[in-house]
Structure 1
């Protein structure tokens, strides 16, 4: 019979990994009173927070001054805050980003959204076939649902109707104008999976037309105490029946592969017809046609985040220990053998005494480039590569750090930092707008923040949710247009869905 492990102050024991881990903050899922958080803040931190919020308010109130400056100075204007010349269009977009309208959907409280993807698909009904926008959403309780967006008058027997109401309006005009109101969301049915939905990835518009995965979406389940996680695909190339019959809606779901471990994240590699998964045992590639699994990274630290860059040739893996590891799939020397090469990666400890020459290491086995490995202070929360130049990627850490890196200059450190993010233990998704000008993220203080990717400037910061906004999905086309009614004509060119434990939100910029 195994002997009980001794309790060490400030540490907890993980029986699966057979080691102790330091307790560096609140246990995930535990509640923290807001009064306790306030008392722990130092005067300097409080002053810094007030200065940030004051800066955001000034930005939202400077539209008229910006227009006046353009009349006097032309397209290139003088910026008092930056003591330099600025481009009018860029400054205008920053002000616009600081003035969203936020809607919350009634009836979504307690769903605990964990993944969101908006899609444009064909839907089949008794009245015929039509194209519409749908939201594929997953929750931590295992619920998966297709919800139709904004078709007033379209009804499904027994469907849940989520209606929007404005919770924040930062634009200086009435919040209930009809042309600003998004449409309702109809959720005819949902499918309950064996465990929570850890991620959803839709097929890229850049995938080749002859690809066997065109018209498919990918999603994964996290796994539970009794079963591991799984990789699934769902066909969306044929018209979907969103009626009350579950079999009609979900008949195209296929389980590609199952695992005896936790699936934290996954990415869709469109060029190689595969999924790349991150687990508590490492990272692997899964062929979406055959289900064949090939492990390319083994480590004792969970893979929390991944990104596929350079047309699938390079994969970034973000680990629990704060490391960001680069895997190059053009190098196949290790996969030709059944044995992986072991790598010892050195890193500098933030707790190391000044003048100490002791080095710390962690071990990995797999197809990695040790020289391309960097480390953030705490566990990696999210990785996100930029499409306009995928040499650049955003990374966030569970110490509140958020940075922009250039893969060609990794050892020189970050090329941009984003101040104000609040995170200590939560996996929070980053969201980048389609034009890749801004990055947004929720924080553990339940606030949402928006930064300029280029300048690092904090453009928006406010709280409108009672829980962490952990998932985000940008609207990529002009949607919500109601064909038969004058209301709900929302056609904003920029909008984003936000999900939290307490509900579904929609943020748009008129």
Structure 2
């Protein structure tokens, strides 16, 4: 057994030691709260009014000319590029599309689709959206749809008050959306999730990546349980005059006799994992065969597969976040899974009507790596550039950053101001992994800096909670995967065109930065 070394942890799979660093490499570690602490790491509940977000961009440029690329601010020295990006992200243009009510309040995913037109084949941006009433819709983005005789065009209204009219008008024209005939269908029940393979959703697009499939799940209602489907995007849509029907591209993979709350799929879109009221199950998307990997009495509300597809993060109704290793799966019944008694953390004991000191869970899990939040988990997002870190949100409004290696010590960063009490509200992280966004029950949309925890944007943009959020896919690949991580991150950030989509009961919204 390898011995413990101060400041290092041992990775058995890689058979080597790694240093334990701060929450984001290159930064100092913030104070780690005790497990019983309910105090946030940051007390800011309003967007910062310092030089970063309160002054004009020209002021930042002037300071850089005088002091170089390292700025001396009230909270210490900061890099000019980071501060400039924070300033930009705090001033978006927000558009609402008329006629999209009840179209995108359950699930949302920006995608690319191929389209055959009279002038040849082209790839266009699109948004696949699901609703609580079971409607699944594919919206085309851009001016292409203006030239077609069939379908519906949706007009945008600017609802973001922080941007000048001339900028909003030019952006409004660029972000026209439309829905062709046959691109909206009614599913068997509420759409509970829409997921792309993580490689595709992170936009590492290249000619060698030919798996263009989207996983769609339904919640289930009454006796009929949830179901999992695959929507094929490989073949181009014929339009006009051919059919744009998405029903013909939908394949039913598997049905369950339980509720499906969430789902995720691996990078090759060969397998998916679903979170249900019975636990978590892996589904082969080719054969439909199912194997349970985690079972318990607490619903799995949130899930995240890691890059390798070998480990699943599961967020439970009881506030636990467990790590499930799926490399070895028992054949046959879920009863063959290893049973664990996991003690609740002090955080969980503060919740009313929770007198138990432990709960039972079956699966190939490591109880010592279980993290807890004060209430039910609503969303989980693993960071790709820093694969030991993940973001989690809970129904009490908590948004936290965790380190897998230090999960028992609690969160290493918090993000204040979020409002939630009972809703499965989503988190979304931009492709450069600098910012995290979430909508709240107070109808506000918020954006934080992942690194510093600063609240950069907070605005009431809807009359109902923005329950679905997603950053838009970028158009250029990350670069040579053999290069150093920091260089990859820099290239990815430079290729990024910030755009985001979010939805509420009131309709579909677009957020952009001209």
Residues 125-178 of structure 1 show CA distances to partners (whole Å, capped at 9, x for unaligned) of: 566533222211111111112221112564444412111121114245634442
Q: 1:334 to 1:52 in 2, by over 3 A?
A: same
Determine the C-alpha separation between the residues in 2 that align with 1:288 and 1:376: 32
- Picking from 320, 324, 329, the partner of 1:327 is 324
**Local SS of the residue matching 1:223:** coil
Structure 1 residues 269, 68: closer, same or farther in 2, change over 3 A? Answer: same
Residue 119 (structure 2) pairs with residue 135 (structure 1): no
- The number of aligned residues is 444
Q: Does 2:143 correspond to 1:151?
A: yes
Are the counterparts in 2 of residues 198 and 265 from structure 1 also a CA contact under 8 Å?
A: yes
Contact 2:295 2:334 in 1 (8 A): no
Q: Which residue of 1 aligns with 2:512?
A: 508
* Match status 1:103 vs 2:95: yes
Query: Equivalents in 1 of 2:89, 2:423: separation in Å?
Result: 25
* Alignment partners' CA distance in 2, 1:352 and 1:195: 35
SS in 2 for 1:174: helix
2:214 corresponds, among 201, 211, 217, to 217
Q: What's 1:61 paired with?
A: 55
Q: Measure the CA separation in 2 of the matches of 1:157 and 1:174.
A: 30
Q: CA 1:100–1:292 in structure 2 vs 1: closer, same or farther (change >3 Å)? A: same
Deviations 1:207-263 (A, max 9, x none): 99888x812111101111241110100111111235697784421211000001111
Pair 1:346 & 2:343 matched: yes
Q: 2:465 aligns with which of 460, 464, 468?
A: 468
Matches of 2:49 and 2:442, distance apart in 1: 19
How much has 1:272 moved relative to structure 2? 7.5
Q: Which residue in the other structure is 1:196 paired with? A: 190
Residue 106 of structure 2 aligns to a residue whose secondary structure is strand
Q: Distance in 2 between matches of 1:473 and 1:194?
A: 24
Per-residue CA deviation, residues 2-49 of structure 1 (Å, 9 max, x unaligned), is: xxxxxxxxxxxxxxxxxxxxxxxxxxxxxxxxxxxxxxxxxxxxxx88
Task: Give the RMSD, CA atoms, in angstroms.
Answer: 2.8
SS of structure 1 residue aligned to 2:238: coil
Which structure ranks higher in relative contact order (CA pairs < 8 Å, sequence separation ≥ 6)? 2
Distance across 1 between alignment mates of 2:347 and 2:472: 40
Are residues 1:282 and 2:256 paired? Answer: no
Deviation at 1:314?
A: 1.0
Alpha-carbon separation, structure 2, partners of 1:274 and 1:210? 19
Gap change, CA 1:247 and 1:103, over 3 Å in 2: closer
Partner secondary structure for residue 251 of structure 1: helix
Contact 2:219 2:225 in 1 (8 A): yes
Most deviating of 216-225 and 470-479 = 470-479
The 8 Å contact of residues 475 and 494 in structure 1, kept in 2 or not, is answered as yes
Q: Distance in 2 between matches of 1:293 and 1:494?
A: 38
Render the CA deviation track for 1:266-290: whole Å, top value 9, x for unaligned: 0011357101000011100000110
CA contact (8 A) 2:231 2:246 kept: no
Shift of 1:493: 1.4
Q: Secondary structure at the match of 1:55?
A: coil
Contact 2:267–2:307 (8 Å) recurs in 1: no
Residues 228 and 337 (structure 1 numbering): CA distance in 2 closer, same or farther, change over 3 Å?
Answer: closer
1:251 aligns with 2:255: no
Distance 1:222 1:246 in 2: 28
Mapping for residues 261-272 of structure 1, pairs under 5 Å: 261-271=258-268
Of 441, 450, 465, the residue aligned with 1:453 is 450
Q: How big is the shift at 1:432?
A: 0.7
Contact 2:218 2:260 in 1 (8 A): yes
The answer for unaligned runs of 5 or more in structure 1 is: 1-47, 480-490
**Structure 1 residue 337 displacement after superposition:** 8.8
CA distance in 2, matches of 1:139, 1:351: 32
Shift of 1:120: 1.7
| 2:417 alignment partner in structure 1 | 420
- The residue aligned with 1:74 is 68
CA distance in 2, matches of 1:385, 1:362: 25
- Alignment partner, residue 19 of structure 2: none
Name the residue aligned to 1:28: none
Matched, 1:496 2:509: no
Query: How far apart are the structure 1 equivalents of 2:214 and 2:98?
Result: 27
User: Among 49, 52, 55, which residue is 2:46 paired with?
Assistant: 52
Aligned to 1:34: none
Cα distance change, pair 503–398 in 1 and its aligned pair in 2 (3 A)? same
2:489 equivalent in structure 1? none
State the alpha-carbon separation in 2 of the partners of residues 424 and 87 from structure 1.
Answer: 37
